[in-house]
Structure 1
């Protein structure tokens, strides 16, 4: 599969970014992955996205002198080498990964295509409550952008927490409390891992014309 690897800095961390052309993907490309057999029943789209994500992760790990490719855990989560925390995301034809040399760091990254306004209005009740909707409205950002950022931030938070909680976290587990020019703050609605209800986490965000990405590192 044809890929292009670049990096950029977000919140002081190097994000490894891979763009890929899914039309060039073949099943033989998966043989590069030690766990390729676990993907044998996946669809072509899933295989290409997974490969791109693991490519980004391999670049990220190589940058800290770890020559491994993360496997797949029982819930589909990436299995990082001992002493490393990390996160992978993919959206459309891009994938991103970030890693840190710390076994218990909270690390979560997520990239999302910006929702169309009508779709954002239709699905908002599944992502935010009325108080959060007021927060997003008062932020001054277009509602679709603000909702996409909230969706992405919650995904980043949940990815970061999964190694601790080992359970699915719905959107009701965290509430957006503030959205500024560069950050979005979430408060836990339930205890999670070692953190109590109400604990706040501030994530960094960026966007371009079509996508947003958020990063939590704590």
Structure 2
């Protein structure tokens, strides 16, 4: 699934349910994070890390413990960038060499309206974003949930580059029904390849009851500023 919305330099792995195989066993260093959690949370945590290790293997990397940092972000091996996500019915990971990709962000959500409806959307969306959602076609995609997923994706790409918080209101996300989105930063972005990033370009996919979003920030900017990866999937499929 994720491979459809990420460039070929990124390796991915996913599972549609929690795994019980030997590869989904937590490393000793990982266990303290979820030692007091309920069994379902432990299984989810182990499965998404098993996916991450599967993706790392595709890059030629050995399996390693993936322990959260001080801000709960996953800490990847030297020379690797990555992102993990989980929701009901999906656990997934994406990784790449940092010589190819500067930062990754992925997110998965069920294709269902946000709980609490307008009250949560009012927290999540700026006025202009709400106006943009209102004119998107009614095609079976939960646009409010997709906006939430895109914003989560933006933060996951932003944080490794800046080590700073980014609030929902600090970026304007514009979703295209064609399977892409653009996130305009309203605060100073990170400097990459000698230029300050003003936006992130992402891709999205509606598939099997899930909404998937992805951002792969290229290490070097192309001549066409803000250009992102063109999805290989059928838009909104």
TM superposition score category, shorter chain reference = 0.7 to 0.9
| Larger proportion of strand | 1
Q: Encode CA deviations 1:35-88: one digit per residue, 9 max, x unaligned.
A: 213321223232122111101100010100111232221111111001110000
CA contact (8 A) 2:49 2:66 kept: yes
Map 1:83-102 to 2 at 5 A.
Answer: 83-102=79-98
In the superposition, the TM-score normalised over structure 1's length comes to 0.83
Question: Over the residues paired in the alignment, what is the CA RMSD in angstroms?
Answer: 2.8
**Match of 2:167?**
170
CA contact (8 A) 2:173 2:183 kept: yes
Distance 2:71 2:38 in 1: 18
Distance 1:123 1:38, change over 3 A: closer
Distance 2:2 2:177 in 1: 24
| Larger proportion of helix | 1
Unaligned runs of 5+ in 2: 218-237
**Match of 1:192?**
189
Unaligned runs of 5+ in 1: 1-5
Map 1:1-218 to 2 at 5 A.
Answer: 8-13=3-8, 14-21=11-18, 30-67=25-62, 68-102=64-98, 105-116=102-113, 119-141=116-138, 145-194=142-191, 199-218=198-217
In the superposition, the TM-score normalised over structure 2's length comes to 0.77
